[in-house]
Amino acid sequence: MNASSLPHGLAPRSDIPRIPPTVRASKRPLVDVGVCAGPPPASLSPRGRIRGQPDLGAHATSRQDMPMRATRQILVLALDGCQSLDILGPIEVFDHASIEVPGAYRVELIAPTDDRTVTMSSGVRLGVAPLPEPPPRHDTLVIAGGAGAREGVTDAALLDWIARASRRARRTVSICTGAYLLAAAGLLENRRATTHWEYCDALATTYANVQVEADPVFIRDGDVWTSAGITAGIDLTLALIEDDLGPNVALAVARQLVVFLKRPGGQSQFSSALSAQQAARPELRELQAWIAGHLDEDLSVSTLADRAIMSERSFARAFKREVGQTPAAYVEALRIEHARALLETGAPSLNAVAQSAGFASAEVLRRAFHRHIGIPPADYRERFRQTAST
């Protein structure tokens, strides 16, 4: 198997130094997950630190060539209503990196709370430490997203703490809608940033001095990093690991987590199909599923109306009302997504891509692609070819 036949972000094992898997023996839990109350459990330090495992994996045969590095302190800020993956996804990445390179990171989960717990949007509670005052010098400040982050923009004391803590950190990171807190604290002024695709427009409208970009999975602008929605926090944290410890460690962590080191495509590949509502009528829901599997066929309004056994006028009105898009816009968005998938895998012919996606010609594909994505399809394909070759 050669490198070009593997998914983007993965490399043949022969291309990198082997880092043998480590046997984990009675690993302590990262956080107290579940219904909890009162002080942190005994498995955590008095301040709730979530430590790396310096005693695991430090065998001479597997880590003797790893230089010792200073432990990097990571502060992860969570609020009530936070997304669990915004917190636990990055924590797991840092934890696995601390197994590959013992003592690389020490993670502390903190929150502005008196009872040492936060309740996530799932209803599960986590044990946390209070906000340290004053904020200590630390390596990375991570702000988790979720409903709590969006609501926290009105908390002047919290925003002041975030601004002061950011000045004491080497870098500042937001996951998902945690970008709202960074923007409200003035940390994204005249910077490029991203957030969950569903909230990009609102973030740009609310904070006009932030250069919001909807497509990237994450953005680094100087010492401030922002990620797209939820699982994109894992992608961003892998990039932090690569920046700190090098690509081989980041790739080893990605393999352990069974994720791409660099996932193909941006987040807008998810927005068109996922943001479209599912129709209430069973016949329209079935039609939506049928459209996705027949993009290279005639999908005109008359054809779709016939299949739904409705008049064209009634069908167009019902589809727009229940799906939130006109039939033509819905079909074109799905065709663009299909074309993107083909281009990302290096399809050699734009004519073949156009035919497979249901566009009348390569020129029609080019115009539609540029309208949706902002670049010509040939340039988009070339970007992935260059990425795959690095």
pLDDT at 18 over 60: no
The hierarchical CATH code for the domain 3-267 is: 3.40.50.880
Which CATH code, of 1.25.40.10, 3.40.1260.10, 1.10.10.60, 3.40.50.300, is assigned to 276-389?
1.10.10.60
Q: Where are the domains of the chain?
A: 3-267, 276-389
Q: Is the pLDDT of residue 37 over 70?
A: no
pLDDT, position 325 = 87
Q: For the chain, what's the residue count?
A: 390
**Least confident interval from 89-98, 172-181, 202-211, 264-273:** 264-273
**Amino acid sitting at position 283:** E
Nearest one of 278, 76, 288, 92 to 181, comparing CA atoms = 76
Residues identified as active-site: 176
pTM of the entire predicted model: 0.58
* 77: β partners: 110, 143
pLDDT at 95 (0 to 100): 96
Which range, of 117-121, 250-254, 343-347, 351-355, averages the lowest pLDDT? Answer: 343-347
pLDDT tier for residue 82 given thresholds of 50, 70 and 90: very high
Distance CA 95, CA 120 (A): 21
Given this model, what pLDDT does residue 27 score? 41
Q: What is the mean pLDDT of residues 48-55?
A: 34
226 phi and psi angles, rounded to 5 deg: -130, 145
Q: How far, in Å, are 171, 309, 370 from residue 224 at the CA level?
A: 6, 53, 29
- Give the residue-averaged pLDDT of 160-167: 98
Q: Name the percent of the chain in helix, strand, coil, to the closest 5.
A: 45, 15, 40
